[in-house]
Amino acid sequence: MSARFVAVVDTVMRGDLERSFNDALYSFRVLMTQYHGALCLVLAGEAATLARALPLPSHDDWDQALDDPALLLRRNLAALVNEGATIYVLEPAPVPDDRPITPGITPLSTVQLAALLAEVGGMLFL
C-alpha cells in the first residue's frame, strides 16, 4: 500500500523544507513556482512515494513546459492525485521583492487550479 500524503499549495518558499526534500520534489516545485508565479507546492510525506509520483523532469519535459506549461502541470497533478494526494490552497501572500517571477508567465488563479485538478479527478480544498 502506498503512503498517503498531503499537498499544500502555498505562496511562501520555505528554505528548511526545500532542503529536506529530494531532487524530484525540488524540481517539481521549481516548475510549479515558475508556472504559478506566486504559488508553489509544499508537500509532506514519504520521500519514496513523492519520488514515484514526481519523477525528475527530463529535458523534453522542460522544453514542453516552456511551450505549454499547463500540459506538464496537468500531468504532474494527475500523478499526485493517483498517489492519493489531497491538495489544499492557502491564502495568497505577497511575493517577496527579491523573488523573481518568470517573465511572460501568468500566476495561476485558484479557479484555474481547481479546473485543472477536476480534469485529472482531483479536488481542491480551500
Q: pLDDT at position 62, please?
A: 60
Let me know if residue 79 belongs to a domain: yes
Let me know if residue 34 belongs to a domain: yes
**Is residue 30 very low, low, confident or very high in pLDDT (cuts 50, 70, 90)?**
very low
Let me know if residue 59 belongs to a domain: yes
Q: pLDDT at position 82, please?
A: 72
Let me know if residue 121 belongs to a domain: yes
Q: pLDDT at position 65, please?
A: 58
CB-based contact 30:101 (threshold 8 Å): no
Long-range contacts (CB closer than 8 Å, 24 or more residues apart) made by 107-115 = 107/36, 107/37, 107/38, 107/39, 108/35, 108/36, 108/37, 108/39, 108/73, 113/9, 113/39, 113/89
Q: pLDDT at position 87, please?
A: 60
Let me know if residue 99 belongs to a domain: yes
Let me know if residue 22 belongs to a domain: yes
40: part of which helix (H) or strand (E)?
strand 40-44
Most confident stretch, 44-48, 51-55, 58-62: 58-62
Domain extent, residue 67, equals 6-125
**Is residue 119 very low, low, confident or very high in pLDDT (cuts 50, 70, 90)?**
confident
| Domain count along the chain | 1
Cα-to-chain-centroid distance, residue 25: 9
**Is residue 118 very low, low, confident or very high in pLDDT (cuts 50, 70, 90)?**
confident
Strand partners, 41: 9
Q: What one-letter code names the amino acid at 107?
A: P
Q: pLDDT at position 60, please?
A: 72
Q: Is 42 helix (H, G, I), strand (E, B) or coil?
A: strand
Residue 115 CA to residue 119 CA, distance in Å, equals: 6
Strand partners, 88: 8, 125
Let me know if residue 1 belongs to a domain: no
